[in-house]
Amino acid sequence: MESMETKGVALVTGSGRGIGLACARELARRGFDVCLNCSSAVSLERTAGAAEAIAQEFGVRAHAVAADVSDADAAKAMVDEAVQTLGRLDVLVNNAGITRDGLIARMNPEDFDAVVDVNLNGTFNCCKAAAKVMMKQRSGRIINMSSVVGVAGNAGQVNYAASKAGVIGITKSLAKELARRSITVNAVAPGFISTDMTDALTEEQREAIAGRIGLGRFGEAEDVAALVGFLASPEAAYITGQVISVDGGLAI
Ligand SMILES: NC(=O)c1ccc[n+]([C@@H]2O[C@H](COP(=O)([O-])OP(=O)(O)OC[C@H]3O[C@@H](n4cnc5c(N)ncnc54)[C@H](O)[C@@H]3O)[C@@H](O)[C@H]2O)c1
């Protein structure tokens, strides 16, 4: 495809698959150069392949970086690499996330810490590194992946719910800190979306959950990516500090 004028540069964490990959594709479709990220060198080849495919399909520049977002130095190095390779940083999507579910009686402190390390500390690490660049530019968009579970809680997920509620706290506080620099910060709260993360559910669990969703079905990664694309667009310039659900009517 012929290359088009870039709309800016977007970095999406945890974008080798699932919602993150759909976000990277949607941002590329909208004309952003994109930096994909995977957690380790093991998956870099596959993620670089996904970046190459995006570049081909949408005529943008695409780059892949391996970095564990829970490691503050690695997160900073990832942001630096994105800026060095693609020239600037206009959009950060903090999408990387994990689950380690279990009722509290069976949840080890390690399971709690591991989820908070990636989902909450990882978001902090990337926000901190990206905010430095965006503050100098006096513009930027930060979009944090929370969850309906961060708003409403869920039995068996105290670690995940705490991390995703924390992401909302970061979002609202940082929106207040960065607004004067024309940087918006918003959170997206997906409900149940068909990805590897929800593939772990049994058919019985899926049916029970679908019964609680107004639209009666799980969402697709593209449903979440559509909102992320909008929040990165000029039309969303006056929206900040918000938590927006994409949940098919689960939480209403
Ligand atoms: N699928 C859902 O129903 C759902 C609902 C609400 C919120 N979310 C959130 O959406 C985001 C994406 O989830 P998904 O459903 O696509 O799951 P997924 O497991 O398919 O994708 C998560 C991605 O994050 C990456 N990742 C994990 N740890 C990382 C680390 N330390 N550093 C960098 N990358 C790391 C994984 O490699 C993977 O590519 C997560 O934050 C998740 O909590 C998902």
**The pLDDT of residue 208 is above 80:** yes
Helix (H, G, I), strand (E, B) or coil at 119: helix
Domain 9-241 has CATH 3.40.50.620: no
Asked whether the beta carbons of 141 and 91 are under 8 A apart, the reply is yes
* Given 32, 58, 112, 160, the catalytic residue: 160
Give yes or no for residue 171 CB within 6 A of ligand 1.
no
Given the DSSP bridges, would you call strands 9-12 and 33-38 parallel, antiparallel or unpaired? parallel
Active site residue 160: yes
Q: Which atom of ligand 1 is nearest to the CA of 192?
A: 3
pLDDT given at position 94: 99
For the chain, the maximum distance between any two Cα atoms, rounded to a whole number of angstroms, is 57
Rounded distance, CA 149 to CA 153, Å?
Answer: 5
129 versus 200: which is more confidently predicted? 129
81 alpha carbon – ligand 1 mean position (Å): 22
Query: Average pLDDT of 158-172?
Result: 98
Give yes or no for residue 147 CB within 6 A of ligand 1.
yes
Residue having the nearest C-alpha atom to atom 11 of ligand 1: 95
pLDDT given at position 3: 54
Banded model confidence at residue 52, pLDDT cuts 50, 70, 90? very high
Could you tell me the residue ranges of all domains in the chain? 9-241
Asked whether the beta carbons of 61 and 82 are under 8 A apart, the reply is no
Banded model confidence at residue 251, pLDDT cuts 50, 70, 90? confident
Give yes or no for residue 219 CB within 6 A of ligand 1.
no
